[in-house]
Amino acid sequence: MALPASAKCVSFLINTGVRTAARQSSSQPKVALLGASGGIGQPLGLLLKQDPNIANLALYDLVGTPGVAADLSHIDSNCRVKAYTGAKELAACVEGADVVVIPAGVPRKPGMTRDDLFNTNAGIVRDLVECIAKAAPKAFIAIITNPVNSTVPIAVEVMKNNGVDAKKRIFGVTTLDVVRAQAFVSELKSTDAAKTVIPVIGGHAGITIIPVLSQIQPSVKFSEDEIKKLTPRIQDAGTEVVNAKAGAGSATLSMALAGARFANYLVRAVKGEKIEACSYVASDAVKGVEYFSTKVQIGQSGVEKILGVGSLSPYEKACVEAAVPQLQKEIAKGIKFIKG
């Protein structure tokens, strides 16, 4: 019987003497992409290869990574690409990484919610993070794998079980919600999408996705009717893509863009910048939940400040109140998956 990824990681570490204490230097950042051959992984790898802040890109998947790496290596950027295939090579892939990005897992199909993916994707995230805890315990971990509201708590609990307090270094990637909000609003209001900034708070599924339209910059006024139409469209945008693809997958291209943008934030933080961005993290921003997405300040040690929800409209406050019970269930489900 094949060893699980976590067991193979231990075996690799014992047999090779991999050092687990240090990340790469901030001058030569390494990003490991786990799930690099998939529908999100391939376009995400393409974007990461072009990021001038990334010196080394390690690609991991169960199959197909040599071909993806060969293809990407022909792109004329300074980032070096290396392929790792199968559980035996996972530890070598993540060892020394500054940032580990995880899009690995199965996508949604029509009629499915993100939570329907739990049984498969929870185990995938658990096994990958088990190896990261041993081979790259100081890495920043950016989790794309759904359901993010549950997989982020899973990752934190796995690291904790390995004696690693990584709460400030584990990020749920909610950037796609921000990107969608900015795209939809700029289309509706004929604003410059590149200059439109809208925070999205809460979580990364259904009613837990809360676009804070009242905080849009530059300032734009919305009618009550516009807000009540825009908010659910942003919340259900993923389903819009799933249905449009008619069983052929979920959001891959826009998710790759969002994942690359957030990975860029993390790499720049590793290099010494102070970055402000929305992310689903361990947080005390809202009473009653241990994890919540707000703007956070990210530095070389990870989350340095939870910047909070800010001033909310009555409609947005009601959305937060509605989201809390749903988040509580999804967070508890992730924690229970590890603790039993």
For 1, other C-beta atoms within 10 Å of its C-beta total 3
Annotated binding site for substrate: 108, 114, 146, 180
Give the residue among 231, 251, 20 at the shortest CA–CA distance from 114.
251
Residues 6 or more apart in contact with residue 290 via CB below 8 angstroms: 153, 282, 283, 331
Helix (H) / strand (E) element for 56: namely strand 56-61
Q: Which residues are annotated as a binding site for NAD(+)?
A: 35-41, 61, 121, 144-146, 255
Q: Contact 109/242 with Cβ under 8 angstroms?
A: yes
Considering only CA atoms, which of 261, 241, 182 is closest in space to residue 39? Answer: 241
Phi, psi at 56, each rounded to 5°:
-135, 130
List CB contacts of 282: < 8 A, sequence separation 6 or more: 152, 156, 167, 168, 170, 290, 291, 303
Measure CA of the first residue to CA of the last residue in the chain; give whole Å. 24
Catalytic option among 30, 169, 204, 295: 204
Peptide bond into 218 cis (omega under 30): yes
Residues in the annotated binding site: 35-41, 61, 108, 114, 121, 144-146, 180, 255
∠ CA 136-142-148 to the nearest 5 degrees? 125
74 counts as catalytic: no
Report, as residue numbers or ranges, the catalytic residues: 204
